[in-house]
């Protein structure tokens, strides 16, 4: 009679011992055995008689993480060595095993049917088990092996001529000390290779990968990836590595680069006669290229046209003046990335402007984020990019105005689709636009720590879609735009630490949806809006640290308030 047991937690002392599995000869399916650290005697592992349980397809052996350092590592190996598993096993996961090496039974002769093997967070093991001869193994995952420095002959097994003959997916992650991968065998059927967060890995990748379809490498900061072992049309994603080189018959033109991200030493480490293989890249990030002045120029190593590019990220390129050199901008106008959806630029301190062709001739660009670009005096000339929906400007200390020039049509819905505008810590910013108007499509406006900001806009149009307005720590802001209380979609106003703000504009109240109003730290604020009683949808009202407010509104507060917080005011009359 078959028996199903999905999980056994090994108890301390004599409770729920692993040897209690012994009589259960007809176990079926998948079994998880956890808290192996509670097994004291190696013979208890033998008495579990797992070798006789041929009905088990899958097995998870799990120790608790973060065991005491005083634990005897030799005992862990003795216990696991006595275990012995049935040769019919198809899937095996070993997690948080705390011994220094693996038992001898974990080899090809024991498991002819095994198709999946995962070894996770076995942090004390200094080498991998000899599993290259497992004849049916298709999926191998090695993760969190913190003490492994080298992978070599011991990993491939005794016969290095025929190794990993069925393996299709190979996954390495979180190997913090791994430095070298010395290939002693082949991976004749490998289709997917993943290597992530192995910051010290220097060694070369295996040479013979004839069926490789996809390779993903990220967080390998010391690795210069050689693509010569990748077959043609292989899909490649590389993120946070030292560089990429090509050689032999395979070059950038013969591969399918979907992502090439945060490659340091971009110009000097990406080599080869053909950069055109990047034309299929969808995600490109460039990181710490200290001598890079332009992405597109006549210089050797310049990028080709990238018609499929969707995301462009640039960070810590301290000499980058412009994305496109002036002498080639007109030439590239028709060939600039037409599918580009997102641009993020951070800590490029001499960047002076964004290329007009990329910003204005693009029909897909929706998001731009610029952080710590101190040479930018303005974001754009005359008008915003026509398809832009989200704009973030952060820590640009010399930016004076968001839009420069006679921007008379900025507010027209025909010229902008902007919905989200976030500006933070731009201490030189005095105004957002030269015309004093913002796009009517704007839904959320957030401005923080802009000490010289004098005006947000002259007025908000009554047909504006603004839902949220948050303004904080803008010490030079004297007044709010006309129409702020006439916005029919407005849900939230939060004004904080604007020391010179005197009052809300005197106007007829038209808005009916305002739900939250917060005003705090506005020392010169003299009064709440006279029409505040008419805000029938207002549910939360907070007025804090505004000593200039001496009176409550004459006609009282809105009748539907659910929360009213008033503190640090100089009002003496009763509420």
Does 265 have pLDDT greater than 50?
no
443-473 pLDDT, tens digit each? 999 999 999 999 898 888 877 899 999 999 9
Q: Are residues 199 and 217 in contact, defined by beta-carbon separation less than 8 angstroms?
A: no
Distance of CA 218 to the CA centre of its chain: 12
Residue 501 inside a domain? The answer is: yes
The pLDDT value recorded for residue 52 is: 78
pLDDT of residue 258: 59
Q: Compute the distance between CA of residue 106 and CA of residue 189 in angstroms, rounded to an integer.
A: 22
Report yes or no on 536 lying in a domain.
yes
Supply the range of the domain harboring residue 430: 338-404+416-437
Q: Which residues pair with 251 in a beta bridge?
A: none
Residue for token digits 């902007």? 418
pLDDT, position 496: 95
167 versus 83: the higher-pLDDT residue is 167
Answer whether residue 468 is part of any domain: yes
Closest by Cα among 97, 41, 33 to 67: 97
Which is more confidently placed, 92 or 301? Answer: 92
Cα dist from 185 to 24, 151, 215, whole Å: 40, 12, 19
Establish if 10 belongs to a structural domain. Answer: no
pLDDT tens-digit map of 165-195:
999 999 999 999 999 988 887 889 999 999 9
Question: In the predicted model, what is the mean pLDDT of the chain?
Answer: 81
- DSSP-assigned letter for residue 364: S
464 and 509, same domain (yes or no):
yes
Q: What is the per-residue pLDDT for 272?
A: 42
Kindly state whether residues 554 and 496 are assigned to the same domain: yes
DSSP secondary structure letters along 230-280 = SPTT-EEEEEEEEEEE-BTTB-GGGSEEEEEEEESSHHHHS-SS--GGGGG
Looking at the structure, tell me whether residues 525 and 555 fall in a common domain.
yes
Give pLDDT, residue 105.
Answer: 81
- Confidence at residue 412, expressed as pLDDT on a 0 to 100 scale: 42
Q: Does residue 518 share a domain with residue 430?
A: no
Tell me whether residue 89 is in a domain. no
pLDDT at residue 5, rounded to an integer: 59
Question: Is 70 exceeded by the pLDDT of residue 254?
Answer: no
* Model confidence band, residue 297 (pLDDT cutoffs 50, 70, 90): confident
pLDDT digits (tens, 9 = 90+) for 494-510: 999 999 998 888 766 55
Question: Residue 256 pairs with which residues in a beta bridge?
Answer: 235
Residue 430 lies in a domain: yes
Structurally, the chain folds into a number of domains equal to 3
| 342 and 312 part of one domain | no
Q: Is the same domain home to 464 and 427?
A: no
Tell whether 305 and 351 lie within a shared domain: no
Structure confidence at residue 185 (pLDDT): 77
Is residue 410 in some structural domain?
Answer: no
How far is residue 163's CA from residue 89's CA, in Å, rounded to a whole number?
20
User: For 265-422, where are the alpha helices, taking DSSP H only?
Assistant: 266-269, 326-332, 356-360
Beta-carbon contacts of 302 under 8 Å, excluding residues fewer than 6 positions away, are 275, 294, 295, 296
CA 501-503-508 angle, 5° bins = 145
Residue 111 inside a domain? The answer is no
């Amino acid at each position: 009679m078959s028996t199903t047991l999905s999980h056994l937690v090994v108890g301390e002392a004599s409770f729920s011992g692993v040897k209690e599995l012994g009589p259960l000869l007809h176990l079926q399916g998948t079994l998880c055995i956890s808290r192996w650290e509670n097994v004291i005697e190696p013979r208890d592992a033998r008495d579990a008689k797992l070798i006789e349980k041929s009905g088990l397809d899958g097995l998870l052996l799990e120790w608790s993480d973060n065991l005491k350092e005083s634990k005897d590592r030799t005992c862990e190996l003795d216990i696991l060595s006595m275990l012995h598993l049935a040769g019919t096993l198809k899937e095996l996961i070993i997690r948080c095993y705390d011994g220094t090496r693996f038992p001898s039974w974990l080899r090809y002769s024991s498991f002819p049917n095994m198709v999946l093997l995962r070894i996770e967070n076995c942090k004390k093991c200094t080498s991998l088990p000899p599993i290259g001869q497992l004849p049916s193994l298709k999926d191998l995952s090695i993760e969190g092996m913190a003490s492994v420095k080298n992978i070599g002959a011991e990993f491939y097994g005794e016969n290095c001529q025929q190794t990993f003959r069925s393996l299709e997916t190979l996954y390495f992650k979180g190997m913090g000390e791994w430095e070298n991968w010395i290939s002693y065998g082949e991976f004749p059927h490998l289709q997917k290779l993943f290597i992530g967060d192995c910051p010290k890995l220097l060694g070369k990748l295996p040479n013979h990968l004839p069926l490789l379809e996809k390779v993903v490498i990220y967080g390998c900061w010391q690795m210069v990836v050689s693509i010569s072992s990748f077959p043609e049309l292989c899909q490649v994603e590389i993120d946070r590595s030292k560089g990429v080189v090509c050689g032999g018959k395979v070059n950038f033109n013969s591969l399918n680069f979907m992502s090439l991200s945060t490659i340091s030493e971009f110009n000097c480490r990406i080599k080869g006669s053909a950069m055109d293989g990047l034309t299929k890249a969808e995600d490109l990030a460039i990181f710490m290229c200290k001598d890079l002045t332009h992405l597109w120029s006549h210089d050797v190593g310049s990028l080709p046209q990238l018609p499929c590019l969707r995301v462009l990220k640039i960070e810590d390129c301290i000499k980058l003046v412009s994305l496109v050199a002036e002498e080639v901008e007109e030439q590239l106008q028709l060939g600039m990335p037409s599918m580009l959806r997102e641009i993020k630029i951070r800590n490029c301190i001499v960047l002076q402007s964004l290329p007009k062709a990329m910003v204005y001739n693009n029909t897909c660009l929706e998001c731009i984020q610029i952080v710590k670009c101190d040479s930018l005096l303005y974001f754009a000339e005359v008008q915003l990019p026509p398809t832009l929906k989200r704009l973030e400007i952060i820590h640009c200390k010399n930016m004076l105005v968001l839009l420069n020039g006679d921007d008379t049509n900025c507010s027209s819905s025909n010229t902008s689709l902007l919905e989200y505008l976030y500006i933070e810590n731009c201490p030189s910013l005095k105004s957002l636009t030269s015309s004093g108007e913002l796009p009517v499509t704007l839904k959320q406006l957030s401005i923080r720590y802009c000490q010289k900001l004098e005006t947000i806009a002259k007025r908000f149009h009554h047909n504006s879609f603004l839902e949220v307005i948050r303004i904080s720590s803008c010490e030079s802001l004297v007044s709010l735009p006309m129409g702020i209380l006439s916005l029919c979609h407005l849900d939230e106003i939060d004004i904080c630490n604007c020391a010179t703000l005197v009052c809300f504009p005197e106007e007829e109240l038209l808005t009916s949806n305002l739900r939250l109003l917060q005003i705090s730290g506005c020392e010169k604020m003299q009064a709440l809006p006279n029409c505040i009683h008419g805000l029938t949808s207002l549910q939360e009202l907070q007025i804090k640290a505004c000593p200039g407010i001496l009176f409550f509104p004459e006609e009282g507060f809105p009748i539907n308030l659910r929360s009213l917080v008033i503190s640090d005011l100089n009002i003496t009359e009763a509420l």
